[in-house]
Structure 1
Amino acid sequence: MSPRLSLAAVVGAIVVAVALVPPGRSEPAAKKLAIPEMKFDEVKEIAPGVFFRYSSISATDPKVPFGGSNHTWVLFKDHVVVIDANFPKEAGDVLAAIKKTTKLPIKYVLDTHHHGDHAYGNAVWAKEGAKIIGHTHAARLLMANGAKQWEEQAKDRKDVKESHLHQVDEHFDDKLVLDDGTQRVEFLHLGHSHTRGDAVAYLPKHKILCTGDACVNGAFNFMGHSNSAEWVKCLEKMEKLDVDLVCPGHGPVAGKDLIAKQKRYFVELRAAVQKGIDVKKTVDEIAAGLDMPWYKEWTGKAANDIKDNVKHVFDELTGKIDHERLGAAPRVGRDDLVRR
């Protein structure tokens, strides 16, 4: 401000400016992000500096190749942040796609959890100079069971056999924020959902939530390492966030209503299984009677086709599952993790 400009002049200018605004008008609200229509393996900029790659997968068509997890990447001022690592081969595909959108170096990659299609490509990203980030439990589970599960995957996947398991470089407990003034990404642990170590990436400026497998768009729920009751609570926490777009771990981008659909599946599944238990039905009998027409409309697959999920919830509700040990090996505890 010029020292010669009087306070009265400044106030007068403000009054004039306000008077020029038509009555009843205010600053325009931020435009709601549109849900993009995408083909498999296509990349689109879904918000300024935010890109999404839709990996190929189908719950109903076996001819569709499995492209691992979806990916979101965010262009900060001088680096890139990537959500999920995928398998080694697909990590290379995504890396090539990222290089078509920017020349900035990749600084951080989030493993939303420890499963192979979200973490086994860690070495590819580390070779690019990226630091791998994950929740404390994801880091522990990858360290505890990673080697054994890696060997099993290597029997079927050449890319895994020819790569190596790179562990999480830095882990966090509840929240880790990356913010350089141009972009902001919040890594959040909302509880035990798909696994004990699930993390989501929230972009509050853009109202985007990247959920990993804590919320998927289609019949892609693997419940073997889950806590279905806590999963519902985690989804309720997601619903409280200000979100326009949900970028799921698998399936197409959707609006916030996807979170409610995902929650409804677990709520109704738990209720149906409990009802069957109360009248002493077997798992097969409960699965046979499971009727969710809305679920088939959403996913293209009948809910009772996924008997493993019925069995998991049955075991939970009959006390056969210790959620503290799901997907875990007792030899690796919190104290064995070293922050680097």
Structure 2
Amino acid sequence: MYSDTKRELQDLGDGLFAWVQGDGSWGWSNSGLITGADDKSLVVDTLFTGRLTEDMLAAYRRADPAAATIDMLVNTHSNGDHTFGNHLVGGARIIASEAARDEMEERPAGFFKAAAADPDAYGVFGEFLHTFMGKTFDFSDIEHVPPTEVFKGARTLTVGGRTVELTELGPAHTRGDVIVHVPDARVCFTGDLVFHGGHPIMWAGPVGNWIAACDHILGLDVDVIVPGHGAVSDKTAVRALRDYFVHILAQTTTCFEAGLSWEDAAYEVGYAAFDSWLDRERVVANVATIYRDLSGGSVAPEQAEVLAQMLRYSRGATCPHDEPCQCHKVG
């Protein structure tokens, strides 16, 4: 299983590595390894399943003796494709933001395991999981292992004499997004604050926070960006993502001011630009979140509504309605 997806270790130099999976689409997330003196090591994120995480850790061990024992694991946020393999890091300290820890408790690994095993029993969430991820990933070997240490704002770690800076920049993608910056290597592991080559998905927002997070990353003295999904890059990927959110915000605001519903706006905005990026159905969630903020919370779609429209969008619908309509007349 998983042999049809390219998964590879990339040596970033100076004792740093990235584990990059596939094209970065649904569930195919990235991880990182940071090593220091005295065989000390830190892993950035585990993966969606136990098997995927085991393969990654084996690759790290082959690459550097320091990975034989993982001293610290940083979860950049709560999503399962960055946390469901936490149980495989042994006695490592597991560090995340307080908000990420809280989100992990709200929908733990057991929920995904049950929904994948019987999607019909979990309504639209089960259908969504089965459609986008359940046919690809085996969730039978995942476990709920939350962080052992949490923080707010910023925290500095030392890995074998090497400084590693954690900075909380959420809420944006999720409520507790954190980046991992290695100043001496000029590398930043961004978690899902950067998607490269695919549409991001804004579960939390507001969009202004995500734009500010991009600005923060762009202000760092780094040469290498390891995104949460997609190919390793430089700041070019961050600038492209920032442009995306500026575009989405402007287009969504036009639709909101014209009186369109959030559903109509999602299709209007979604078919306007960035067609070459993967997972275009995520525009639906992004527009829904922006509508929530533009309306001051008076338009706040339930997650089930958003997932249902994302499913419809992914299946080729050109509007959210069953009959022909006039929803593509703005912009």
TM-score grouping bracket, smaller chain normalisation: 0.7 to 0.9
Aligned mate of 1:260, from 211, 236, 239: 239
Which whole-Å CA distance do the structure 1 matches of 2:24 and 2:43 have between them?
A: 23
Which whole-Å CA distance do the structure 2 matches of 1:221 and 1:206 have between them?
A: 27
Aligned mate of 2:198, from 202, 219, 225: 219
Give, in angstroms, the shift of residue 264 of structure 1.
1.3
Aligned mate of 1:311, from 271, 288, 307: 288
Confirm whether residue 56 of structure 1 aligns to residue 22 of structure 2.
yes
Amino acid at match of 1:135: S
> Which has the larger Rg?
1
Pair 1:114–1:253, CA change in 2 (3 A): same
Q: Secondary structure at the match of 2:285?
A: helix
1:24 aligns with none
Confirm whether residue 99 of structure 1 aligns to residue 76 of structure 2.
no
Aligned mate of 1:145, from 107, 110, 126: 107
Aligned mate of 2:224, from 231, 239, 245: 245
Give, in angstroms, the shift of residue 67 of structure 1.
5.9
Confirm whether residue 73 of structure 1 aligns to residue 46 of structure 2.
no
Can you give the 5+ residue segments of structure 2 that lack an aligned partner in the other structure? 118-133, 304-331
Amino acid at match of 1:223: M
Give, in angstroms, the shift of residue 305 of structure 1.
7.4
Which whole-Å CA distance do the structure 1 matches of 2:187 and 2:172 have between them?
A: 19
- Structure with the larger helix share: 2
Amino acid at match of 2:28: G
Q: Secondary structure at the match of 2:78?
A: coil
Alignment RMSD, CA only? 2.9
Amino acid at match of 1:122: N
1:201 aligns with 180
What do the CA deviations read for 1:43-77 (whole angstroms, capped 9, x no partner)? 12112100111112355xxxxxx663201101111
Can you give the 5+ residue segments of structure 1 that lack an aligned partner in the other structure? 1-38, 60-65, 327-340
2:45 aligns with 84
Q: Name the count of aligned residue pairs.
A: 277
Percent of residue pairs identical: 25
Aligned mate of 1:47, from 13, 24, 30: 13
Q: Would the aligned equivalents of 2:42 and 2:73 in 1 still touch at CA under 8 Å? A: yes
Aligned mate of 1:114, from 74, 78, 81: 78
2:315 aligns with none
Q: Would the aligned equivalents of 2:195 and 2:229 in 1 still touch at CA under 8 Å? A: yes
Which whole-Å CA distance do the structure 2 matches of 1:311 and 1:123 have between them?
A: 34
Moved over 4 A (4+): 151-154, 156-159, 291-294
Q: Secondary structure at the match of 2:190?
A: strand
Which whole-Å CA distance do the structure 2 matches of 1:145 and 1:80 have between them?
A: 29
Pair 1:100–1:174, CA change in 2 (3 A): same
1:279 aligns with 258
1:10 aligns with none
Amino acid at match of 2:156: V
Amino acid at match of 2:44: I
- Taking structure 1 as the reference length, the TM-score comes to 0.73
